[in-house]
């Protein structure tokens, strides 16, 4: 199922509708691409659903962070994390965004006329942003090690997630000792960063997430986070913010290369609204077409392409019964490409996000960040980051996808680009 989950979602929903039972031996799995049903599961009856049991296979990577936690622990962590994604907090991270964009794009000036792998460049850029936002300068020294260990452990967890009969974790580690080493390495690096920060005399002066997590107190109990809770949330944010943004940016640049009329229009907006080489937060928030283009790109290629929920009791929806213990796969890819909600779904058209169009569209036909009480906390930061980086690239450069290259999208914990994205780099001015 993992090999062609996107094609399977398209074929089943096209043939059988917005709720389909997938015949998998030993379990009841339903595929949902109907916006009303998705709203029902994520909002109307969300207390009757929990995260699917397969999610436990990501515990070595994410612990009990926001993505995996449930119940009272999730509510407590959500309360403590909310302030970090307010408009004021996002403004505080702008220096990290600006420095990272400058570090990665400045060397491009020496590569004019050559071919670059845009996906690799966007991963490099988003990794820098994540490390700076989480740890300030301290994280950069661990960058490559942290990246390699994270990737290795993530791949290990993904394989277990999709396995019909995964081995017990202790045995799986024996068979994959590199995964156990990656887990220990991540624990060691994060513990070292946390303890180093605790021993600083003036750590409160840092404007990064680690300091904010260490200073956070539950508004109801006054309790701070433990080192393990801080570690879990740091890894959750790394997981949620790294490949998701890099894929969104890569696909935006790919789609603009395929649609030169839109690229020209966005370049014009960048020229008009960006005063320097990199847009400020205020300039980015003033974008229209650039932000719409990023939103359209993650409609066509949603980095988080699927989420799951498990009924904790038999749940009735219309004429269907979703049995307790079954798994409901909510296909973000499927609903965002459904002809029931989108005209000519495969076409790249940022005008879909005009106020008029959004007013007449089902609210749950576009859910790249999920929906309901568990909607992604980093939604506004992701949109700002994606638009700011696009604005910076469009202001100074033009990228053209190599004609003989066939794009290959791979599914794992998020969408990824399996074979790179070679594009010719040109200067605009």
What does the mean pLDDT of the chain come to? 91
Structure tokens at 50: 């929990």
Structurally, the chain folds into a number of domains equal to 1
Kindly indicate the confidence band of residue 243, based on its pLDDT and cuts at 50, 70 and 90.
confident
342: left (phi over 0), alpha (psi -120 to 50) or beta: beta
Kindly indicate the confidence band of residue 202, based on its pLDDT and cuts at 50, 70 and 90.
low
pTM: 0.93
Kindly indicate the confidence band of residue 277, based on its pLDDT and cuts at 50, 70 and 90.
very high
Residue 420: the pLDDT is 94
Per DSSP, the residues of 238-303 read HHHHSHHHHHHHHHHHHHHHH-HHHHHHHHHHHHHH-SSSS--HHHHHT-SHHHHHHHHHHHHS-S
Strands (E), 42-192: 49-50, 115-117
Biggest CA-to-CA distance, the chain: 63
Residue 239: the pLDDT is 85
What number is the average pLDDT over the span 253-282? 97
Residue 3: the pLDDT is 59
Kindly indicate the confidence band of residue 164, based on its pLDDT and cuts at 50, 70 and 90.
confident
User: Residues of the chain with pLDDT > 90: what percent?
Assistant: 62
Q: What is the pLDDT of residues 366-414, one digit of tens each?
A: 999 999 999 998 999 999 999 999 999 999 999 999 999 999 998 888 8
φ, ψ (nearest 5 deg) of residue 307: -130, 165
The lowest-confidence range among 1-5, 117-121, 224-228, 423-427 is: 1-5
* Cα separations in angstroms, 373 against 46, 50, 103: 8, 12, 37
Positive or negative: CA dihedral 140, 141, 146, 148? positive
CA–CA dist 115, 401 (Å, integer): 9
The residue among 165 and 18 whose pLDDT is bigger is 18
Q: What is the pLDDT of residues 1-50, one digit of tens each?
A: 555 788 888 888 888 889 999 877 778 899 999 999 999 999 999 999 99
- Which CATH number does the domain housing residue 326 bear? 1.10.630.10
- Cβ count within 10 A of residue 136: 20
* Cα separations in angstroms, 158 against 59, 153, 251: 11, 9, 22
Domain region containing 307: 2-427
Residue 288: the pLDDT is 97
Kindly indicate the confidence band of residue 204, based on its pLDDT and cuts at 50, 70 and 90.
low
Kindly indicate the confidence band of residue 303, based on its pLDDT and cuts at 50, 70 and 90.
very high
Of 39, 41, 52, the C-alpha closest to 316 is: 41
Statement: residue 313 has pLDDT above 60: yes
């Amino acid at each position: 199922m993992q090999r062609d989950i996107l094609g399977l979602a398209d074929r089943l929903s096209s043939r059988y509708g917005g709720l389909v039972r997938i015949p998998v031996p030993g379990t009841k799995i339903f595929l949902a691409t109907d916006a009303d049903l998705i709203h029902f599961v994520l909002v109307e009856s969300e207390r009757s659903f929990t995260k699917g049991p397969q999610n436990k296979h990501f515990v070595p990577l994410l612990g009990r962070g926001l993505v995996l936690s449930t119940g009272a622990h999730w509510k407590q962590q959500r309360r403590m994390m909310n302030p970090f994604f307010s408009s004021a907090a996002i403004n505080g991270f702008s220096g990290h965004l600006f420095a990272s964009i400058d570090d990665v794009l400045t060397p491009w000036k020496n590569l004019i006329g050559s071919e670059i792998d845009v996906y690799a460049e966007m991963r490099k850029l988003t990794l820098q942003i994540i490390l700076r936002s989480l740890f300030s300068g301290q994280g950069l020294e661990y960058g490559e090690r942290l990246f390699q260990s994270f990737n290795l452990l993530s791949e290990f967890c993904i394989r277990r997630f999709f396995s019909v009969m995964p081995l017990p974790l202790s045995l799986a580690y024996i068979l994959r000792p590199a995964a156990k080493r990656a887990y220990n390495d991540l624990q060691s690096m994060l513990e070292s960063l946390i303890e180093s920060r605790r021993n600083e005399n003036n750590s409160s002066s840092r404007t990064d997430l680690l300091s904010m997590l260490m200073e956070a107190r539950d508004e109801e109990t006054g309790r701070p986070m433990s080192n393990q809770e801080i570690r879990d949330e740091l890894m959750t944010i790394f997981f949620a913010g790294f490949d998701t943004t890099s894929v969104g940016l890569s696909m935006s640049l790919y789609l603009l290369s395929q649609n030169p009329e839109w690229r020209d229009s966005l370049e014009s907006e960048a020229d008009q609204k960006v005063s320097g080489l990199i847009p400020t937060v205020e300039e980015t928030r003033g974008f229209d077409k650039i932000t719409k283009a990023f939103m359209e790109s993650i409609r066509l290629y949603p980095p988080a392409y699927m989420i799951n929920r498990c009924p904790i009791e038999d749940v009735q929806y219309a004429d269907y019964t979703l049995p307790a213990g079954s798994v409901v796969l909510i296909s973000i890819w499927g609903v965002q490409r459904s002809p029931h909600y989108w005209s000519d779904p495969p076409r790249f058209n940022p005008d879909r996000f005009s106020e008029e169009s959004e007013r007449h569209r089902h609210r749950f036909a576009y859910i790249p960040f999920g929906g309901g009480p568990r909607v992604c906390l980093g939604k506004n930061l992701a949109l700002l980051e994606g638009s700011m980086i696009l604005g910076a690239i469009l202001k100074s450069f033009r990228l053209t996808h190599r004609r003989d290259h066939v794009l290959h999208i791979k599914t794992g914990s998020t969408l990824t680009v399996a074979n790179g994205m070679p594009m010719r780099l040109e200067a605009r001015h």
